[in-house]
Structure 1
Amino acid sequence: MIRNRKIWCAASALALSVALPVMPVHAAPATASTKAVYKDAGAPIEARVDDLLARMTLDEKIAQITTVWLDKVKIFDAQLQLDPAKLAAQYPNGLGHFTRPSDAKGAVSPRVAPGRNPRQTVALVNALQKWATTQTRLGIPILFHEEGLHGYAAVGATSFPQSIAMASSFDTAMLRDVNSVIAREIRVRGVPMVLSPVVDIARDPRWGRIEETYGEDPYLVGEMGVAAVEGLQGVGRSRDLRPGKVFATLKHLTGHGQPESGTNVGPAPVSERELRENFFPPFEQVVKRTGIEAVMASYNEIDGVPSHANRWLLDNVLREEWGFKGAVVSDYSAVDQLMSIHHIAANLEEAAMRALDAGVDADLPDGLSYATLGKLVREGKVNEAKVDLATRRMLELKFRAGLFEQPYADAAASEKITNNADARALALKSAQRSIILLKNDGMLPLKPEGTIAVIGPSAAVARLGGYYGQPPHTVSILGGIRAKVGGKANIVFAQGVKITENDDWWEDSVTKSDPAENRKLIAQAVEAARGVDRIVLTLGDTEQSSREGWADNHLGDRPSLDLVGEQQELFDALKALGKPITVVLINGRPASTVTISEQANAILEGWYLGEQGGNAVADVLFGDVNPGGKLPVTVPRSVGQLPLFYNAKPSARRGYLFDTTDPLYPFGFGLSYTRFDLSPPRLAATTIGTGGKTTVSIDVRNSGAREGDEVVQLYIRDKVSSVTRPIKELKGFQRITLKPGESRTVTFTISPQSLWMWNDHMERVVEPGEFEIMTGNSSVALQSATLTVKP
């Protein structure tokens, strides 16, 4: 722990000067006779980087590890078009990195300043690249990045289900396909990098960013993370960027998903053991199984050290233990926050020193802290070799992306590829496969007849979730139902309540809707539903009531998991009519809907389902699609049960007075319109050595009358261990489709990786003993067998 800032600064400067060779502040200028190896496409990338670095001045290097976002307006004219004179004056040493060229002028809501369409984005990218490659001294192209969490966050791009919904599909192949489309739509605009995927472990549903994650389980998150990166970059470990692909950015390393008090950027109260057992595995899996080239550090601190100043995390673990070779980039303004939030730096200069020393290579999105590095090098406080190392890593990305050979994009192709028919079809399929059936007393599927009331704050609007784009077409649940059965059934609509006065994710202030006005809307909904046969009621969140809280004036976390506002009152009033009610949850975080779970006839969990969400919900409601999703998180009965996750330690969950420790819905849970029978697990070998393998097989039969999907899940427990272990851990899953009467055998391999643990010496080992091998279709509906592991 650093107890004296001034002592640290002096010691750090001394350590840097001793550990690294002294470099000149300005590299010698290249002579006319010097061969420009960096311009030779046939030369090895390492040699090209060496050659280019040797030609660069200090200020040119720093330009490569800083970025521009909010200041982009300084290089535009009044019509937000690029002004070459302003550009040259603003960036005399070149421009290394450019944030989100598709937006209009930085961190502004697209409702206030609509972003650039595909052709306009390409025009800006090409103009910037032409300037960079022809008008700057060395002709270094610019690296652009965009957001693409569940679709390219730009005008005209396809919007897919939010990450937590995609995780509910338990379908890695589909997630790979989705991210392949995202990559294609981004790359065709000339952008080779995306800040996605998120592989944080979500351990606190109060946290507004839980919707951005793949859930609470390390294995599930890791498999989804690998699939996402394979979609974005391509399958395999090649580090060179392929056509139609983008560099993925793995984020946020680490502990971000279990913040103190559930509030964004709060400290992560986790030990090294907790990191290695739960938070590290998804990152490690992606690094070791893919060609990931960028990792983003997390805002939070661990054991008093913010991630952006944590050399142990970024160098020792990420680079040395896991073998990561790419670049580490900062989260937005996180280097500055070493000063403004964490208070481990007195100013931006000290913040830059801490981050650079820890291994952060680029300062996103505006480079305010790293802009001070030139002064620090000239004053002898930072060794230029550190700047060289960061610059090298960022330049390597540009060479691997092929930007020195082809920095330009094709405007016509960008319009043809973006949100094409294939992308829209995949948006529908992914939404269909993400929906979870939580309850059904026989109400579903609905018959397309009589009068159906479609009610609720998310009935007539397509909610996309945080980091949404601006797709050209969206389908609400009301629109989807009308399109499917409007000619057969009479559809009536009422809003019922509003949740927040606004639903703009970008808007800082959030105002809950007026209770008095909501009660008027409830009365109108009751009247509209009085004569109907069935009610479809949408409840949940808006993009404001659950979101990333990125500043004190832009909050997104909540201390309650209850439905916001008068939504419960709306349900109660409609229930009093005695009509059958199907609830569709459209939300960003798990909702503690105990009464609704008891009283509704059927419940669907949709999360945010993307641009085709309304059609997907209608397909499920009326039986054209059999829901097969499973919960990627545990749903608590109340916030008082937190923290609540399925892979707890044996001493947890002893019990409460006057209530239960059982969740409202367990991890891995989800129903179907058909019935599946699963056999007990069969081990190919019941005894293996610590380095051995075996397989476990389960027979699955569809004994119902409909075709449907089941997700077969494998859990393992170490019965007796040298340190405490979870009561169960997911170690495999497979989603299968079976016709009525069809059977299939599902087989999982159990390897040392399935059994290993961190012992009391923090060594990863497989300990001899008995392991309970559990299989089933949720984390609670399990059958077991015993595997013996011998020394």
Structure 2
Amino acid sequence: MRRRIAMLLCLIITTLHLPAIEAQEQMDYRNPQLPIERRVKDLLSRMTLEEKVAQLQSLWVATSSQDFMNARGEFAPSERLQQLLRYGIGEISGPIGMEPDLPNQSGPTKRKSPREQAVFTNQLQRYIIEHNRLGIPAIFHEEALHGLAVPDATSFPQAIALASTWDVDLVREVFTVAAREARSRGIHQVLTPVLDLGREPRWGRIEETYSEDPYLVARMGVAAVRGFQGEGPNIDRQHVIATLKHFAAHGQPEGGTNIAPANYSERILREQFFYPFQAAVTEAGAMSVMASYNEIDGIPSHANRWLLGKILRGEWGFKGFVVSDYFGINELITRHHVAADPAEAARKALTAGVDIELPFVQTYSTLVQQVKSGAIPVELIDRAVARILEAKFRLGLFENPYVDPDEAERISESPEHRALALRAAHEAIILLKNEGGLVPLDRNKIKTLAVIGPNAARVELGGYSSYPAYRISILDGIKRKVGDSIKVLYAEGCKITAGVPQRGGEPNWWNDDVRLSDPAEDARKIAEAVEVAKAADVVLLVVGDNVETSREGWSENHLGDRDSLDLVGRQNDLVKAVVETGKPVIVFLINGRPLTINYIAEHVPAIFEGWYLGQETGTAVADVLFGDYNPAGRLPVTIPRSVGQLPVYYYHKPSAKRGYLFTSKEPLFPFGHGLSYTTFKYGNLRLSKDRIRPDEPVTVSVEVTNTGARAGDEVVQLYIRDQVSSVTRPVKELKDFARINLKPGETRTVQFTLTPEKLSFLDEEMRRVVEPGKFDIMVGPSSSDEKLLRAVLEVVAK
């Protein structure tokens, strides 16, 4: 008996010390000197099925804050959270994000400082590591569409405005800063950039895209990924994983409504919709991709083995991990009706190649039982888990899982970051029209300036924003600029929407109950604005959209798409009333989508497009308005005359635009358009060779001269057209561009290289070829035919 008791005690003591024994064991996955592939293999071999499946799941702080925090907003894990994390977790969704302008400043939703954000993520990460058997850290992700979308982070211009800069170096700098701010607060992955083609302006998410053009989106996307991830292949402590979205063909939904089908041919998919994603994967090494909500040819992307397997991984060699869009796997049941229950949805998604379910588990909780029952082979689980673990090793989370809260506080809203936000806003502003040289305004000739409009005294940041520590409206930016030298009058003029009552009528991205403003109130405000305009020498009208009228429509009770592109509400009435005063009028558009501003284009002498310019909106607008910065933004999308022209993207096929009765077939403003306070002349377009073989590159050169009296930037654009081809080709395609700065009288030779890849297309057999024949080579300041210089290049057979 004594011997049996002694053996039992020995067994108990040994069992109690198993974790310590395991910790002392030389485990390969703990050795940073070993190749990541070997570390992944070792760790995977030690994991139970439950621990593996936990790596394919996530938790969302926003929906269960009571499990993460106490009433004072401090980290305090509940018993439920302890159960949820007992096997570890793959990702934590939105650990520090919040609703913009949240009025509640106490309790779990209290707005945390950057330092507090870093402290919280450290506490949560430490808890996760210390409470799973193998000490596997979690990946924390946030949104960063135009800057990290958490409180007190730098808010840059919206994506479509960043693309208006046509400045890839700037875009890389912007997202380098966003990555640094994210990583300093404990964030490891961002759900951006959006590489959808913005070919449908009715779609509320077009503001999130870079352009209608595949080449421009690709260049912006590659720059964004390199900014976020650094040089790679590993991610250092200043960078984060970028997530390409939404794969694929999400940007031109049927009817313009979010998540609607994308019924396009394989040729159009490969040459246009897929092109930016392929560039970001093969050139920039993007480490994560998000599947899109929509379907292609009857197959939802979250269940599309051809899309996620054959194309993404097979043809492009993608080695990273695929995440679901929020609730996207469950929508295989509720939206698409291709799965009967969570188990079937999980099986379809995992088989297709979706590695992790976001933002929290709805279907992947069935995976353990499905493996045990034989419905899913464990190899599928291992494949997905290995991809998640590799990302964690590449992030260095096993060696450095925590961040320095002091660093988060130090870089937040730093002067350097604010200066970059201002530079980006400057470069994004597009001068659409300047009849009679009304702008820039001469401070010596104006005594009174009226600033009028629903977007004049507020700062619209656009979707996927939080609350930056600093932001300045156009009204305040102008007042700061002119001081006492000019009297500045203000009138709201009208509202765009009624907004949220408990927030003083302010519009809010999260608001479900979007209503037009009150007609009687608007009539009164328009009358007041007319009187203000009459008292001024010049009027600046600031109109457009707000975050309720152009946004992601994520459900039937939260819409953001429109069937009209006209100004919302009574803004046109306001514009007409002010124009009829006879005062010189400038219109500045702050908006999320291209707008059919026909009356404004005809009657207003000076028009600016700003989209959403970020936290430095007011300073940038004032600088441009008074000539302290010479605008050089260019349209990344075509602006139509009406919705009847849609689709209106410039690279249409030759048969697409015969015309309409009683109206022009030309757009209101063409792709690539933008004016300057100076003038430029193009000349001496030449090719290094007039005839080349299909495998040869050719150099295209053009001389650009600043013929005006001011220094300024010009965006030089190169287009091509295949004159005769076996498959129909677009009337023109952008193939390169360069933003250059020229002093008055300065001439510069700009050179582009046309590679075989840029001249190629998919032939009848879906093979990429450069066919012999003649190509029109076109260079100029926009896609408008009348402004393009032309040369002819002949490709001859070998």
With normalisation by structure 2, the TM-score equals 0.94
Amino acid in structure 2 at the alignment position of 1:110: L
The answer as to 2:618 corresponding to 1:626 is no
The answer as to 2:370 corresponding to 1:376 is yes
5+ long unaligned stretches in structure 2? 1-17, 500-506
State the alpha-carbon separation in 2 of the partners of residues 360 and 393 from structure 1.
11
Amino acid in structure 2 at the alignment position of 1:130: R
Residues 539-591 of structure 1: per-residue CA shift (max 9 Å, x gap):
10001100011111111000000000000000010011000000000000000
Superposition pairs for residues 429-468 of structure 1, below 5 Å? 429-441=423-435, 442-448=437-443, 449-468=446-465
Where does residue 504 of structure 1 map in the other structure?
A: 508
Q: Verify the 8 A CA contact 1:239 1:292 in the aligned structure 2.
A: no
Q: Quick one: which of 742, 746, 749 aligns to 2:746?
A: 742
Q: Verify the 8 A CA contact 1:677 1:700 in the aligned structure 2.
A: yes
State the alpha-carbon separation in 2 of the partners of residues 187 and 508 from structure 1.
32
* Matched residue SS, 1:785: strand
Q: Quick one: which of 463, 470, 477 aligns to 2:474?
A: 477
Question: After TM superposition, what 4+ stretches of structure 1 lie above 3 angstroms from structure 2?
Answer: 28-35, 107-115
* Matched residue SS, 1:248: strand
State the alpha-carbon separation in 2 of the partners of residues 779 and 111 from structure 1.
46
Equivalent pairs: percent with the same residue? Answer: 53
- 1:483 offset after TM fit, Å? 0.5
Superposition pairs for residues 597-746 of structure 1, below 5 Å? 597-746=601-750
Q: Verify the 8 A CA contact 2:290 2:322 in the aligned structure 1.
A: yes
Where does residue 14 of structure 2 map in the other structure?
A: none
Amino acid in structure 2 at the alignment position of 1:385: E
State the alpha-carbon separation in 2 of the partners of residues 350 and 603 from structure 1.
54
- 1:76 offset after TM fit, Å? 2.8
Residues 474-522 of structure 1: per-residue CA shift (max 9 Å, x gap):
0100011000013210000000010012211112221111111111110
Amino acid in structure 2 at the alignment position of 1:479: D
The answer as to 2:796 corresponding to 1:790 is yes
Q: Verify the 8 A CA contact 1:715 1:729 in the aligned structure 2.
A: yes
Query: Would the alpha carbon gap of residues 757 and 659 (structure 1) be closer, same or farther in structure 2, given more than 3 Å must change?
Result: same
Where does residue 69 of structure 2 map in the other structure?
A: 76
Residues 170-194 of structure 1: per-residue CA shift (max 9 Å, x gap):
0000011100100000000111111
Where does residue 139 of structure 1 map in the other structure?
A: 135
- 1:783 offset after TM fit, Å? 1.3
The answer as to 2:102 corresponding to 1:110 is yes
Amino acid in structure 2 at the alignment position of 1:728: K
Query: Would the alpha carbon gap of residues 653 and 114 (structure 1) be closer, same or farther in structure 2, given more than 3 Å must change?
Result: farther
Residues 416-460 of structure 1: per-residue CA shift (max 9 Å, x gap):
011100000000010000000000011000122310000000000
Superposition pairs for residues 255-404 of structure 1, below 5 Å? 255-404=249-398
Amino acid in structure 2 at the alignment position of 1:78: A
Amino acid in structure 2 at the alignment position of 1:242: D
Superposition pairs for residues 205-284 of structure 1, below 5 Å? 205-235=201-231, 238-284=232-278
- 1:196 offset after TM fit, Å? 0.9
* Matched residue SS, 1:345: coil
State the alpha-carbon separation in 1 of the partners of residues 21 and 264 from structure 2.
54
Q: Verify the 8 A CA contact 1:200 1:279 in the aligned structure 2.
A: yes
Q: Quick one: which of 174, 181, 186 aligns to 2:177?
A: 181
State the alpha-carbon separation in 1 of the partners of residues 290 and 607 from structure 2.
37
Residues 250-294 of structure 1: per-residue CA shift (max 9 Å, x gap):
111110000000000000121111101111110111111112110
Q: Quick one: which of 162, 168, 180 aligns to 2:164?
A: 168
* Matched residue SS, 1:561: coil
State the alpha-carbon separation in 2 of the partners of residues 334 and 754 from structure 1.
35
Residues 300-332 of structure 1: per-residue CA shift (max 9 Å, x gap):
100000111111111100111111110011111
Q: Which moved more, 1:208-217 or 1:370-379?
A: 370-379
Residues 13-66 of structure 1: per-residue CA shift (max 9 Å, x gap):
xxxxxxxxxxxxxxx999848641111111111111111111111111111111
Where does residue 197 of structure 1 map in the other structure?
A: 193
Where does residue 40 of structure 1 map in the other structure?
A: 31
Amino acid in structure 2 at the alignment position of 1:74: D
* Matched residue SS, 2:647: coil
Q: Which moved more, 1:144-153 or 1:502-511?
A: 502-511
State the alpha-carbon separation in 2 of the partners of residues 577 and 261 from structure 1.
39
Q: Quick one: which of 541, 546, 552 aligns to 1:548?
A: 552
Q: Verify the 8 A CA contact 1:73 1:80 in the aligned structure 2.
A: no
Q: Which moved more, 1:457-466 or 1:524-533?
A: 524-533
State the alpha-carbon separation in 2 of the partners of residues 350 and 110 from structure 1.
39
Residues 135-155 of structure 1: per-residue CA shift (max 9 Å, x gap):
321100111001101011011
State the alpha-carbon separation in 1 of the partners of residues 630 and 97 from structure 2.
39
Query: Would the alpha carbon gap of residues 85 and 646 (structure 1) be closer, same or farther in structure 2, given more than 3 Å must change?
Result: closer
State the alpha-carbon separation in 2 of the partners of residues 370 and 30 from structure 1.
32
State the alpha-carbon separation in 1 of the partners of residues 380 and 113 from structure 2.
39
- 1:74 offset after TM fit, Å? 2.5
- 1:108 offset after TM fit, Å? 8.9
Cα RMSD (Å) of the superposition? 1.5
Q: Verify the 8 A CA contact 2:90 2:356 in the aligned structure 1.
A: no
State the alpha-carbon separation in 1 of the partners of residues 275 and 486 from structure 2.
50
State the alpha-carbon separation in 1 of the partners of residues 68 and 53 from structure 2.
19
Q: Verify the 8 A CA contact 1:71 1:366 in the aligned structure 2.
A: no
Query: Would the alpha carbon gap of residues 726 and 540 (structure 1) be closer, same or farther in structure 2, given more than 3 Å must change?
Result: same
Query: Would the alpha carbon gap of residues 29 and 122 (structure 1) be closer, same or farther in structure 2, given more than 3 Å must change?
Result: closer
Q: Verify the 8 A CA contact 2:516 2:569 in the aligned structure 1.
A: yes
5+ long unaligned stretches in structure 1? 1-27
* Matched residue SS, 2:349: helix
- 1:81 offset after TM fit, Å? 2.7
Amino acid in structure 2 at the alignment position of 1:271: S
Amino acid in structure 1 at the alignment position of 2:490: F
Amino acid in structure 2 at the alignment position of 1:518: D
State the alpha-carbon separation in 1 of the partners of residues 86 and 727 from structure 2.
58
State the alpha-carbon separation in 2 of the partners of residues 716 and 185 from structure 1.
40
* Matched residue SS, 1:454: strand
* Matched residue SS, 2:241: coil
Q: Verify the 8 A CA contact 1:774 1:782 in the aligned structure 2.
A: yes
State the alpha-carbon separation in 2 of the partners of residues 768 and 367 from structure 1.
54
Superposition pairs for residues 111-126 of structure 1, below 5 Å? 111=103, 113-126=109-122
- 1:110 offset after TM fit, Å? 3.4
State the alpha-carbon separation in 1 of the partners of residues 788 and 478 from structure 2.
36
State the alpha-carbon separation in 1 of the partners of residues 750 and 731 from structure 2.
23
State the alpha-carbon separation in 2 of the partners of residues 489 and 273 from structure 1.
58
State the alpha-carbon separation in 2 of the partners of residues 760 and 667 from structure 1.
29
Q: Verify the 8 A CA contact 1:103 1:115 in the aligned structure 2.
A: no
State the alpha-carbon separation in 2 of the partners of residues 55 and 277 from structure 1.
44
Where does residue 489 of structure 1 map in the other structure?
A: 486
* Matched residue SS, 1:444: coil
State the alpha-carbon separation in 2 of the partners of residues 737 and 84 from structure 1.
55
- 1:85 offset after TM fit, Å? 4.8
Q: Verify the 8 A CA contact 1:169 1:629 in the aligned structure 2.
A: yes
State the alpha-carbon separation in 1 of the partners of residues 110 and 474 from structure 2.
25
- 1:680 offset after TM fit, Å? 4.6
Residues 405-424 of structure 1: per-residue CA shift (max 9 Å, x gap):
01001111100011100000
Where does residue 62 of structure 1 map in the other structure?
A: 53
- 1:114 offset after TM fit, Å? 4.6
Q: Quick one: which of 581, 591, 597 aligns to 1:593?
A: 597
With normalisation by structure 1, the TM-score equals 0.94
* Matched residue SS, 1:388: helix
Q: Verify the 8 A CA contact 1:255 1:268 in the aligned structure 2.
A: yes
Q: Verify the 8 A CA contact 1:102 1:115 in the aligned structure 2.
A: no
